[in-house]
Structure 1
Amino acid sequence: MKGSRAERYRSRRRNDSEVSRFWIMGLLFSLLVLAFELLIEIPVDADWLQEMEMALFSASFTLLAFYLLGLTFVFSRGQKAGKINHQVIIYVWLGAILFHLFLLISNLSNQHVYKAGIILFLGPLFLTVYHFITYLSALREDRAQQEAATGASLERIAYQTILEGSRVYSEIGRLRSEYPEVEQMLRANDFHNKLERYALEMQQYLQAKKFERKDVELLEGHYYFLENLLTLAKQHPGIIESRAFARRED
C-alpha cells in the first residue's frame, strides 16, 4: 500500500512538472508570436525574403531529419520516447516544410504570410525542444529510481551479510571458549588478528549511510573468511576427539 501511494505521488509530481513546463513553453511561444506580429515589420519588397525562406526550408528539413534520427536512436535502445506524441511533431514539421516550399515557388507579397512562415518554423522547433526536455527529465528520473532501487538492494545485502557474519563470529567465539585447542590453532596460524579485524570492520559498516558495490564485495569477502574459519575450527582434530570422547562417555 505504501508503494502504491509513493508511486501515485511520483506520477502526480511528474505530471505537474510536465504541465508546468508545457505552460511555460507555451507562454514563451505566445509572447514570441505577439512580438512578431506587433513589433516586427517585414518589407515585402526586400531582396533577402527568398533567401530567408530558403534558409527556413533547409533548417526545417535538417531539424526534422535530426529529430527522426533521435527517435530512431531512442527506439533502437528499447526506450520510450516520452508521453509526447512524436507523430504530431513530425506532421507539424512536414507542414512547415510544405509551407516554406509554397512560399519559395509563389510570388506572394504579404508580410503576414512571411511572418506565418517564421512562426511555422518556431512552432515545431519549440515542440521539439519541449519533447527533448521532457524525454531527458523522464530519463533522469528513471535513472534516479533505478539507482535508489540498487542502493536499497545493496543495503539489504550488506546488512544481511553483517548479520550472518556476526553469527559466525559468535560461533567461533563459543568454540574458542569451549575448546582451547581452537584458540591455539588460530594464534598458531596467525588467524586471530585477522579474525578480530574483519569482525570489527563488518560492525563498523553498520554506521554507513550509503553502500556501494565495492562495500558489499568487501563485506562478502570478510564473511567468507569467517565462514571458512568456522569450518576449519569445527574440523580441528581436538574438537573431533572431544566430541568422540563425549559420545563414549554417554
Structure 2
Amino acid sequence: MGLLFSLLVLAFEFLIEIPADATWLQEMEMALFSASFTLLAFYLLGLTFAFSRHPKAGKINHQIIIYVWLGAILFHLFLLISNLSNQHVYKAGIILFLGPLFLTVYHFITYFSDVRADREEQEAATTASMERVAYQMILEGSKVYGEITRLKTEYPEVEQMLRANDFHDKLERYALEMQQYLQVKQFQRKDVELLEGHYLFLENLLILAKQHPGIVESRMYSRRDD
C-alpha cells in the first residue's frame, strides 16, 4: 500500500495537470473537505465500537491517523477560504485526502488481521486446555476403574452388588469409552463434558462400592484423595 500511494503521489505530481482557472476546483475542495470530515467521523465510530475491544491491535497508532485527518481537513478548509491558483496546492489537497485514507484502510486491515491472529491463538490455547483436562479425566478414570476392579477381585460381594444394580455393564462400557478417547486428535467441549460425566459415574460407583459392609478403603485411593 505504501508503494501504491507513492506511485499515486508521483502520478499526481508529474502526469496530471490541473488547470489553475478551472471552475470546479472549489467544488472539488468542498467534496474533499466533506469526505474527510465524514471519514474521520466513521473512523472515530470504529474506534469506539470495534477498536475498544482490542486497543493494541493494528500496526498504526490511531492517534496519528486522527491527527492526519484533522490536518487534511484544516488544509481543505484553508483552500476553501483562500483564492490560491497554484495547481500544486490543489494536488497537495488531493494527496492529503488520499494519505489519511490509505492509512485508515491499512489500519483496518492490520487491525482485523491482528484480531484474527489473537482469536486463533485463544482457540489454540482453549484446545490445548481441553486436551489437558480430557487426558487428566482419562487418567483419573483409569485409576478409579482399576480400584473398582481390585475391589471386585478381593471382594466378590462387590461384583454381585454391581451386577444386581445393573452397574457392571455400564462400568465396563464407560471405562472402554474413556480409553477410546486416547485416539482422538482434537477434543471438543462436548467430549470433555462426556469424559467428566463418565469419570463422575466411576468415582461415585467406587464410593458406593467402599460403603459395602466389610470393604476397607484401599491405601491407593486414600493417597489420591489426600
TM-score, normalised relative to structure 1: 0.80
Residue 226 of structure 1 is matched in structure 2 by: 202
Uncovered stretches (5+) of structure 2, i.e. residues with no partner: 217-226
Instruction: Please say if 1:185 is aligned against 2:161.
Output: yes
Look up the SS of the partner of 2:48 in the other structure.
Answer: helix
| C-alpha distance in structure 1 between counterparts of 2:53 and 2:109, whole Å | 18
- Match status 1:118 vs 2:70: no
Cα deviation, residue 47, structure 1 = 2.8
**1:57-206 maps to which residues of 2 (within 5 A)?**
57-74=33-50, 76-77=52-53, 79-206=55-182
- Aligned match of 1:18: none
Q: CA deviation at 1:150?
A: 1.4
Aligned-partner Cα distance in 2 for 1:143–1:234? 47
Q: Displacement, 1:219?
A: 0.6
Structure 1 residue 85: deviation in Å?
2.4
Q: Which has the higher helix share?
A: 1
Kept in 1, the 8 Å contact 2:57–2:115? The answer is: no
Structure 1 Cα separation of the partners of residues 114 and 148 of structure 2: 51
Using the TM superposition, give the Cα deviation of residue 74 of structure 1 relative to its aligned residue in structure 2, in angstroms: 4.9
TM-score by length of 2: 0.88
Instruction: Report SS of the residue matched to 1:108.
Output: coil
- 1:211 CA displacement: 1.3
* Distance (Å, rounded) in 2 between the aligned partners of 1:46 and 1:123: 24
Is contact 1:96–1:120 with CA below 8 Å preserved after alignment?
A: yes
- 1:213 is aligned to 189
> Which residues of structure 1 form unaligned runs of 5+?
1-24, 241-250
What is the CA–CA distance in structure 2 between the aligned matches of 1:199 and 1:81, rounded to whole Å?
Answer: 46
The answer as to whether partners of 2:57 and 2:110 remain within 8 angstroms in 1 is no
CA RMSD between the two structures: 1.8
CA contact (8 A) 2:152 2:158 kept: yes
Cα 1:106/1:79, change in 2 over 3 Å:
closer
Rate the CA distance shift 1:116–1:79 in 2: closer, same or farther, 3 A. closer
Deviation at residue 60 of structure 1 after TM alignment: 0.4
Q: Say whether 1:47 aligns with 2:47.
A: no
1:109 CA displacement = 2.2
Taking only the aligned residue pairs, the percentage that are identical comes to: 87
Moved more, 129-138 or 77-86: 77-86
Q: How many residues align?
A: 216
How far apart are the structure 2 equivalents of 1:34 and 1:83?
A: 25
How far the C-alpha of 1:119 sits from its partner, in A, is: 0.6
The 8 Å contact of residues 175 and 182 in structure 1, kept in 2 or not, is answered as: yes
Secondary structure, counterpart of 1:237 in structure 2: coil
1:185-220 deviations in Å (ceiling 9; x for gaps): 111111111111111111111111111222111111
